[in-house]
Every structure is written in C-alpha cells, then in structure tokens.
C-alpha cells in the first residue's frame, strides 16, 4: 500500500480516511491485531470512526511479533527494562518511514535540523543496544552537519566548555537529554544559554528519586538559564513523536493523534479535559500496529494539545489486562 500519503494529511477528514485505510490493512495483514479485533467482535466494515477502531494494548509488544508485513525487519528496536523483566520488541521493516516521520515532525515544530548544533546527553540509552531514541538522535546529529554535534556519555566538563564556545556565536543549540543526566549537569554547572532548546526525554526511573515534571522543569530551566524546557513524547513501539515547547503541553504531527479512554472501561472515550488512559494513533507505524493503548495517563486540552500526568501501576490496568490474549 502507498505509505507516503500519511505525510500529506491536512485535515481531520484526511486523517480519518488514512486511519480507516490503515486499520483495514492491518486487520487483514497483522495476525496479532486480527485476533485481537476478532476477540472484540469488531469487523472492518462496521468501523467508520476513530473511536470504533480497536487499540492494541502495548503489552503485546512484549510477548508477540506485532507485524503487518512479511518483509524482513531492517532493525529491531527494544525498550529498556529492569533485570529479568520482559522488554518490548518493535520490528521495523521500513526505516525510511521512521526517518521521514521524525525529520518531518522536527522540521514542522522547530525548523530545519541543518540550522542546529545537536548535542545528545543520553547515557542510559547509549549504554544499551536497540534504542529508537539513539537511532533518531544519531541521524539528527549527522544531518545537522555541524562539526561539534555529537553524543555525550557523562563528559559534563567537555559539554560545558563546548556550550561556552557556542555561546560566542549565534549557533542554534539543541540539547536532547535524559532527565537525570540533564539534572546532573546543572548541579555541576550553572549556565545562562541563549538560542538554546533543552529537550528532556524522560528517564529518571532507577537513577534518581522521581520528581514531578513541574519541579524537574524548574530545576532545569534555572540550571540552563532558559525560559522553558521542551519535551519529546515517544516510545519504542511508535514511529512518531509529539513535542512540547514548555509546561508539558504536547502537540502531535499531522499523522499522529491522541485519544483518552476511560480507565474503568477501555472501550469508552472521555471528553477533553478529563483524565484517562492514553491511546495513540501513529499512522507511520503502518507495518506494525498504528493503534496502541499505552500505559500512560493523560488528558486532552480543549485546543487539542495533550498532557501526560502519570502511568498506570500494574493494579490499575484493569481493562487492558482482561483483553491481553
């Protein structure tokens, strides 16, 4: 099927047309998703709205091969996991879709990547293999064409010196980092950066005491001397990301959409402003599954932006657990 049409979406009608097309394709070609839809007694001909499309619980990526094609995967992205825990596996058969998705989204929200010096502070991801975030950051670094773009493990002094040098020019700076590493840097170095975007990707679990987003962003804002902290919302199982330019309020690219489900009844959806489970439609995920029920809790604002307010603990995933085959 034609894949690039998703990147030409302009209206809600365009999105619905593409979503229904991809739903029918995945129903016919993804054995795991087909069985899940059959379990819910959902037939493609009866599906006319986004809310009628079944959303596959994200846990399936830990135990099943979620694929809508027989093509050989070009790469397998894996989630991080504690010792002994199952990790998610995302088999990607067309890396060009992932690359188009993050490049077009970045360009939409931030402009051309070639205008930036990209500095990636992602130690916990660099220390393992299979990270989709590392793949994206590496490609952004290469495409930035800036001689100083690169990864930093824990070379905070080197990063600090580089930032001081870059401040002598009008270079746009993108620092994309895991939360605990960004915090550690600001505890050693206080800066007042200009022309810089600080983008946190989450990631405190197991490394530092968890703190609420507002407190984290205030500490980082003070430490780097910038008015707002940006955020990226993505995950191993997706090929698209949403971005926040401050205050934890996210926007999706045109081929990605968020719905909020009732935590007690996962087949019921909530109005804007009410908190529930986050369902993601990621139309770039054509060759896997584009309709995923995550373990995140959040809400959609009246203007269509969304916020993440936490995660289910294991005792809270009532409806989803009942539907895991």
| CA–CA distances in Å: residue 49 to residues 2, 16, 32, 39, 223 | 21, 7, 22, 19, 46
Residue 142: per-residue pLDDT: 96
Q: Tell me the per-residue pLDDT of 96-117, one tens digit each, with 9 for 90 and over.
A: 999 999 999 999 999 999 999 9
CB 308 within 8 A of CB 278: yes
Residue 242 domain flag: no
In this structure, the answer to whether residues 194 and 268 fall within a common structural domain is no
Query: What is the Cα–Cα distance from 2 to 15, expressed in whole angstroms?
Result: 15
| Residue 22 falls inside a structural domain | yes
Residues 140 and 59 in one domain: no
Question: Is 136 found in the same domain as 264?
Answer: no
Looking at the structure, tell me whether residues 114 and 228 fall in a common domain: yes
Q: Which pLDDT belongs to residue 124? A: 66
Contacts with 297 (C-beta within 8 Å, 6 or more apart), sequence order: 263, 275, 276, 277, 278, 308, 309, 310, 311, 312
Q: Looking at the domain assignment, is residue 73 inside a domain?
A: yes
Residue 196 pLDDT greater than 90, yes or no:
yes
Residue 195 in contact with residue 173, Cβ under 8 Å?
yes
Whether 193 shows a pLDDT value over 80: the answer reads: yes
Q: Is residue 69 part of a domain?
A: yes
Q: Give the rounded percent of residues in the chain with a pLDDT score beyond 70.
A: 91
Q: Where are the beta strands (DSSP E) in 7-101?
A: 56-57, 75-78, 89-92
240 Cβ contact partners less than 8 Å away, ≥ 6 residues apart: 101, 102, 105, 234, 252, 253, 255, 256, 282, 283, 284, 285
Query: Domain with 187 in it: what CATH number?
Result: 3.40.50
113 with 185, same domain: the answer is yes
Both 104 and 219 in one domain: the answer is yes
Domain ranges, residue 68 = 12-93+255-319
pTM of the model: 0.91
104 and 214 share one domain: yes
Report, as an integer, the average pLDDT of 297-316: 83
Give the tens place of pLDDT for each residue, 119-176: 999 886 767 788 999 999 999 999 998 999 999 988 899 999 999 999 999 899 999 9
132 found inside a domain: yes
Q: What is the mean pLDDT of residues 298-325?
A: 67
Q: Are strands 150-152 and 242-244 parallel, antiparallel or unpaired?
A: unpaired
User: Domain count of the chain?
Assistant: 2
Q: Is the pLDDT of residue 177 over 90?
A: yes
What CATH number is attached to the domain comprising 261? 3.40.50.12780
Is the domain of 136 the same as that of 223?
Answer: yes
**Could you tell me if residue 238 is inside a domain?**
no
Residue 200 lies in a domain: yes
């Amino acid at each position: 099927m034609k894949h690039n049409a998703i990147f030409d979406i302009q209206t809600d009608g365009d999105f619905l047309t593409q979503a229904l097309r991809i739903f029918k394709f995945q129903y016919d070609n993804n054995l795991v998703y087909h069985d899940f839809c059959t379990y819910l007694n959902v037939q493609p001909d009866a599906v006319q709205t986004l809310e009628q499309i079944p959303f596959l619980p994200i846990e399936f990526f830990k135990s099943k091969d979620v694929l809508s094609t027989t093509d050989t995967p070009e790469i397998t992205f894996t989630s991080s996991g504690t010792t002994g825990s199952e990790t998610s596996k995302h088999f990607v058969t067309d890396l060009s879709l992932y690359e188009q998705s993050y490049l077009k989204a970045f360009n939409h929200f931030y402009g051309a990547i070639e205008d930036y010096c990209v500095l990636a502070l992602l130690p916990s991801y660099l220390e393992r293999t299979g990270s989709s975030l590392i793949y994206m950051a590496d490609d952004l670094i290469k495409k930035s064409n800036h001689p100083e773009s690169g990864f930093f493990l824990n070379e905070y002094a080197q990063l600090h010196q580089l930032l001081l040098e870059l401040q002598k020019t009008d270079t746009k700076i993108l620092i994309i980092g895991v939360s605990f590493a960004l915090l550690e840097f600001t505890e050693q170095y206080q800066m007042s950066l200009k022309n810089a975007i600080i983008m946190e990707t989450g990631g405190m679990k197991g490394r530092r005491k968890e703190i609420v987003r507002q407190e984290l962003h205030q500490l980082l804002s003070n430490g780097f001397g910038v008015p707002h902290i940006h955020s990226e919302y993505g995950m191993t199982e997706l090929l698209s990301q949403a971005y926040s330019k401050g205050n934890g309020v996210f926007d999706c690219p045109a081929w990605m959409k968020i719905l909020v489900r009732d935590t007690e009844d996962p087949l019921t959806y909530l109005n804007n402003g009410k908190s529930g489970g986050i369902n993601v439609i990621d139309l770039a995920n054509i060759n896997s599954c584009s309709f995923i029920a995550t373990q995140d809790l959040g809400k959609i604002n009246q203007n269509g932006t969304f916020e993440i307010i936490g995660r289910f603990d294991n005792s809270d995933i009532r409806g989803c657990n009942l539907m895991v085959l």
